[in-house]
Structures are given as structure tokens and as C-alpha cells.
Structure 1
Amino acid sequence: MTDPLANVQRLVDDWERNAEEKAARYEAMRQEVERISITASAAGGAVSVTVGANGIPSAVTMTAAVSRLRPEQIAAAVMEAMGKAQAGYPAELARIVGETVGETPSGQHIVAVAERNFPQPEADAPPAPPRRRSGDDGDFTDESYLR
């Protein structure tokens, strides 16, 4: 006959061991996620953006080639490169989650949130030309020189 107290103790020990293993896997995931670094470029490599943990930009670099771009093209290139880098974040996060915590509901939720926050960029459509408001003199202000 088995001792009920021994069975309870074994169940508690198993639960504790599983909790410690799970905590270790999530800690490993956290450490790997903190090391994420994804860089993408735009405008023929003139602009690069690096995103890190949580898809937050950590660096923006530009080459001398940006001198041939208009300000609105530089801004568009920064946004394009950032979007490309962030679009790679969910896949990298999914890889890390798969290697550390596996196909758990919480792991799937973490990846789903990243996919929702950082969707794949739209197909490479040419950027729309900047639109001017009627009466816009192109000096980047809302003020008239007639005032």
C-alpha cells in the first residue's frame, strides 16, 4: 500500500521542479530577446535602421548618398528601413520562443502580439510623390511671407 503523504510530497516536488524548469526557460527566452538586433536598409543602402528588443529602433545610420536625396525622401527611407527591420522581428521572436519555451499558449501569444504590432510591409510599391497643399510655397512652414 502506498503512503498518501509520500504521494502528495512527490506531486509537490514534481510541481516545484516543473515550475523551476519553466522559469529557467522563460529567463533564457528573455535573455535571448534582449539580444535581438535586426538591421534593414532603404534608398539603395543610403539609410539603415537597426531595431532591438521589442522592435524598438536602436540605431539609424546614413551614408553620404543621402546628400542626393530630398528631405522627404530621407524621411521616407528611414520609415521604410525601420518597417523592414521591424517586420523581421516576429520571425526572430518566434525562433527564440520555439527554442526556449516551445509551443505554449503564452509563447504563441507573445509571437502573435509581435506579428500584430510589426506586420510585413506592403508589396514594394513606389512611394507616392509628396503632395502640396494649394498655396504651399514649399518652405516647410505654414506661415505666409506676406504676414
Structure 2
Amino acid sequence: MSDPIGNSRSLVDDWERGAQERAAKYEAMREAAERISLTGSAADGAVKVTVGPNGIPSDVVMTDAVSRLRPEEIAAAVLEAMRKAQGGYAAELARIVDETVGQTAAGQHIVATAERNFPQAGAPGAPGAPGAAVVKKRARDDGDFSGDSYLG
């Protein structure tokens, strides 16, 4: 004769053990993701930008070679180096997700979000890539500072 209460306890214990294991894997993923540090360079190494967790810049280094660049070239080099560093963020995060939680729906969502936010340099839709969105400033100020849409 089977023991329904004993079976229920066993199922709950198994579920709890599984939940604890999954939580430990996601904690390991979080800890590894917090250690991400990627550096991109531009202008023949005159500018280097390092990004950390979440692809946010954490350091900018310039060599004396920037003195030969015009201000707009320096600005462009900083952006290029930052985009190069950020372009590797999704791949590094995908590696971490694969090693910790595997191909779970949550892990795939995390990687897909990173890929959307930080496309690889030269990828379609990446800043500076062919077909990338270009934001243009309005030709004149209409004086409306409300931020409200007239559509709705």
C-alpha cells in the first residue's frame, strides 16, 4: 500500500532541493557577471575604454598620442573604443550563462537582452554599422517642455 503523505513529502523535498540548486547556479552566474571587465581600443591604441558589469564604462585611458588628434577625433575614438568593449559583453555574458545555468529560458533572456543593448561592432543595427538608426536633432525648438505626446 502506498503512503500518499510520504510521497508528497518526498516530492516537496525534491522540489526544494532543485530550487536550492537552481538558486546556487543563478548566484554563481551573478557573481561571475559582476566580474566582467572588457577593454576596447581605438585610434591605434591611443584611447582605451574598459567596461564592467552591465557594459557600463569603468575606465578611460588615453596615451600621449591623443595630442595629435583633433577634439572630434578624440571623442569619436572614445565612442569607438567603448562600443568595441561593449560589443564583447553579450558574448562574455553568454559564456558565463552557459557555464552556470545553461540553456534555460531565463539565461537565454538575459543574453538576448545583452545582445540587444550591446550589439557587436559592425553587426546590423550596431551604432555606426550600415543600416543603423540615426537620430537627428529637431531643426527648431517648439517651446513645448512638457514631454507629453500630442497623440494621446
> Normalising TM by the smaller chain, what interval?
0.7 to 0.9
Give the whole-Å Cα distance in 1 for the aligned partners of 2:72 and 2:121. Answer: 19
Equivalent positions of 1:36-51 (< 5 A) are 36-51=36-51
Equivalent residue number for residue 101 of structure 1: 101
Structure number with the higher helix fraction is 1
Give the whole-Å Cα distance in 2 for the aligned partners of 1:32 and 1:95. Answer: 10
Give the whole-Å Cα distance in 1 for the aligned partners of 2:122 and 2:32. Answer: 28
In the TM superposition, what is the alpha-carbon distance from 1:2 to its structure 2 partner? 1.7
In the TM superposition, what is the alpha-carbon distance from 1:122 to its structure 2 partner? 2.2
Query: What SS does the aligned partner of 2:60 have?
Result: strand
What is the one-letter code of the residue matched to 2:120? Q
Equivalent residue number for residue 72 of structure 1: 72
Query: What SS does the aligned partner of 1:44 have?
Result: coil
Query: What SS does the aligned partner of 2:41 have?
Result: strand
In structure 1, list runs of 5 or more residues that go unmatched. 126-147
Equivalent residue number for residue 139 of structure 2: none
Query: Identity of paired residues, percent?
Result: 73
In the TM superposition, what is the alpha-carbon distance from 1:78 to its structure 2 partner? 0.2
Superposed CA offset, 1:51-104 (max 9, x none): 000000000000000000000000000000000000000000000000000000
Give the whole-Å Cα distance in 2 for the aligned partners of 1:78 and 1:33. Answer: 24
CA RMSD of aligned residues (A): 1.3
TM-score under structure 2 length normalisation? 0.80
Residue 122 (str. 1) matches residue 122 (str. 2): yes
* Runs of 4+ residues deviating >4 angstroms: none
Larger Rg: 1
Give the whole-Å Cα distance in 2 for the aligned partners of 1:58 and 1:89. Answer: 13
Residue 54 (str. 1) matches residue 54 (str. 2): yes
Superposed CA offset, 1:109-141 (max 9, x none): 00000000001122798xxxxxxxxxxxxxxxx
Give the number of aligned pairs. 125
In structure 2, list runs of 5 or more residues that go unmatched. 130-152
Residue 15 (str. 1) matches residue 28 (str. 2): no
Equivalent positions of 1:75-94 (< 5 A) are 75-94=75-94
What is the one-letter code of the residue matched to 2:79? M
